[in-house]
Amino acid sequence: MIERSLTELAAMVGGEILDADGTGDAPVVASVVTDSRKAGPGALFVAIAGERTDGHAHLGGVLAAGGAAALVSDLPAARAALDAAGVAPDDADGERRTLPLILVEDTVEALGLLARAHLADLRERAASRGSELTVVAMTGSVGKTTTKDLTRQLLAAQAPTVAPIASFNNEIGLPLTVLETDESTRYLVLEMGASGFGHISYLTGIAPLDAAAVLMIGHAHMGGFGSVDGVAEAKSEIVQGLLPGGTAVLNYDDERAWAMRAIAPGPVLAFSASGDPAAEIRAENVEADAQAHAVLDLVAPGAPTTRVRLGLPGLHNVGNALAAVGLAIAAGVPAADAVAALAGARIESPHRLDVRTVGAPDGGDILLIDDSYNANIDSMSASLASLPALAGERRRVVVISEMLELGEFSDADHARTGELVADAGASLLVTIGEGAAPAAETARRAGVGEVVELPDADAALTRIDALVRAGDAVLVKGSNGSGAWRVANHLAERPVEGTPGGTDR
């Protein structure tokens, strides 16, 4: 973020400056945080009232850390927190230090306004220099974060690029990512998620797009949309959020995604993991190598057909890689350069089909396949389809926590998961949470030899060491809120004997 004065920030969000003690535009703000533990000199802390804690209660810590100012909506709570912190006199002049406040009605909305104004300003500055700040984004029911990671690497190989950490894809994470840009930024990569209608439109209102990719329309957040067609309607908001003349990068293999070409305001690039010749960007002659990495002939406009081995496992990632190439091309990167950079690209975010050898609870090692960040039936299917190739001759163990936000489809999707576990040749299934019970029941009927049902992640942490043994391949998958990632972290803590940590396969 570029440095901005309090007066400038207040004007951007329509807020009122309070408690500045005559400092005027000082101090200068150089960063924006929503976690008080990350506040420091030059930081604007945005106090957000969440489900677990209210940011207003942490203003004392922000002041103690040297934070520059705070964006607040509850003035009594903010001042009470500062008073309770026992603000001490300044050592230099004996005066009591204060934390300037910018008062607004809604801090989340103000965060979005700040990001929108900041991005618009940077785009104007770039244009005045004869340059550009190109903004690209992706959405879909699965693959968003992987595609974000790949796209970031393809663009960063060309020029300074900003992209979100992990899955910063909502009304808080996306503005924070936008606010990391400065005058050196050439590309901004954004991930856009939705659990209801209008969510993506809100995000594109903050960051209007030069290019947008729609990956696939599946069963994520079905409880909020009611049907797959409802999911498609919500995801189409990203195409509607393109700037005039912006490029839509659409999955030709997904009929609902491809149908969005009708609302695109500019060029359309089609990608096809199945190799359909009607798609400009496509994969041909796809095969999986011994490490379950896809090897393919990549066809893209303006580049020679190139044999590429993806740097991440799973055949389902072919489509994600093609979408990343499409976004890079749409952003102005020569196709040959984008394809050349793809072979070296890796998954950068945690808990996304991270395959590594770690220590087994009883000595020796296990192959940990950590895909535990989130789950719906589409991503569950993709992960389990990768298990046989990744596991090889190892005993196959699957740990799944409940898939959340599936609404009326929950029982059916969990039951289908049990079938997929059996199809993947699992010897042991461990389920976490009551909602995963249909998976356990179906897996038993389908012939999985051992099925263990546990009520929650705490119980799983207590039992998992006794269930997993040396030589196993352990796939951990589930929704973030149901705790599968805690099991993955627990298993990953053991280094292989003789090494400082786990090793990539």
Binding-site residue numbers are 140-146
Q: Which residues of 431-470 are buried (b: 16+ CB within 10 A; e: fewer)?
A: bbbebbbbbbbbbbeeebeebbbbeebebbbeebeebbbe
| Three-state secondary-structure class, residue 400 | strand
| Three-state secondary-structure class, residue 488 | helix
CA-to-CA distance for 147 and 150, rounded, in angstroms? 5
80 Cβ contact list (under 8 Å, min separation 6): none
CB 73 within 8 A of CB 105: yes
Question: Annotated binding site for ATP: which residue ranges?
Answer: 140-146
Dihedral angle of Cα 494, 495, 501, 505, to the nearest 10 degrees: -100
Q: Tell me the CA distances in angstroms from 405 to 152, 202, 224, 418, 480, one per residue in order.
A: 29, 21, 7, 18, 11
CA-to-CA distance for 493 and 502, rounded, in angstroms? 8
Please count the other Cβ atoms lying within 10 Å of the Cβ belonging to residue 361: 17
CA angle 454, 487, 468 (to 5 degrees): 75
Stated as kind and residue range, the H or E segment containing 386 is: helix 377-391
CA angle 393, 349, 456 (to 5 degrees): 70
Helix, strand, coil tally for the chain in percent (to 5): 40, 25, 35
267 Cβ contact list (under 8 Å, min separation 6): 245, 247, 248, 330
428 Cβ contact list (under 8 Å, min separation 6): 395, 396, 397, 398, 448, 449, 450, 451, 452, 467
CB 344 within 8 A of CB 324: no
Q: What are phi and psi of 324, to 5 degrees?
A: -65, -40
CB 212 within 8 A of CB 323: no
Please count the other Cβ atoms lying within 10 Å of the Cβ belonging to residue 223: 14
| Three-state secondary-structure class, residue 300 | strand
> Which residues, listed in sequence order, are joined to residue 400 by a DSSP beta bridge?
431, 477
320 Cβ contact list (under 8 Å, min separation 6): 143, 146, 147, 150, 215
Please count the other Cβ atoms lying within 10 Å of the Cβ belonging to residue 77: 17
